[in-house]
Amino acid sequence: MHNEPADADTKSKADQKKPSISLQRAGHVGLSILNPFSDLAVIYRQGVKPTLGRFQQAWALLNRQSAPSESLNWAEAVARTGKTVEQLQTNFTRIRIAWWCLMMITGGLAAILAVMILLAHGLPSSTLLRAVLAMLVLASLSAVGFVKALIATYRLWQLQGRRVSESEGGTFKDFLAQGHWVRKVFTLGSSR
């Protein structure tokens, strides 16, 4: 007799737990559905929105009207640096050699790796992918070295030719129009 009321209490507690368990399940299912959307909101707020803001700033910088810059002649430009012509020439020569070395070393390694990839047969795809990525990184570094060496060669050309302004014929277009600029960069030849 004493067991019957205990069984009744247990049954009533079990009946009360079933609805709460189904409510919990419904809550978990609802959170599972809503959670990805909240993750998307976090991704938008912390990733997409700041990136869009940076793109807008970059676009504004690219499309702004540039104020006409003052045109300096060669003597004024050298005086404004605060260094002598010899110091400038030494600095640009060192910069040019450093970037030339980066260009040649990484370019050479990229070329060697490209030949090795072409000669190797039956490489696993993961190894081939790694080799191609390494070759692309090396080629990119070589391209950066080329551009920086080109800039240093142009500055040396300006310095040695004693011309920097448009009226003196010292613009980058003038440098390119003079010809042989690729050879000057690759051979470390004279900038004149």
pLDDT in tens, 107-129: 999 999 999 989 988 888 888 88
Contact assessment for residue 69 and residue 166, using Cβ atoms and an 8 Å cutoff: no
- Stated pTM of the model: 0.61
pLDDT in tens, 148-167: 999 999 999 989 888 888 88
- Segments making up each domain of the chain, as ranges: 1-64, 75-187
Scanning the chain, the segments in alpha helix (DSSP H) are 3-43, 49-63, 74-81, 85-119, 125-161, 172-178, 181-187
Among the listed residues 93, 134, 89, 130, the one whose alpha carbon sits nearest the alpha carbon of residue 111: 134
How would residue 169 be classed by pLDDT, with cut points 50, 70 and 90? confident
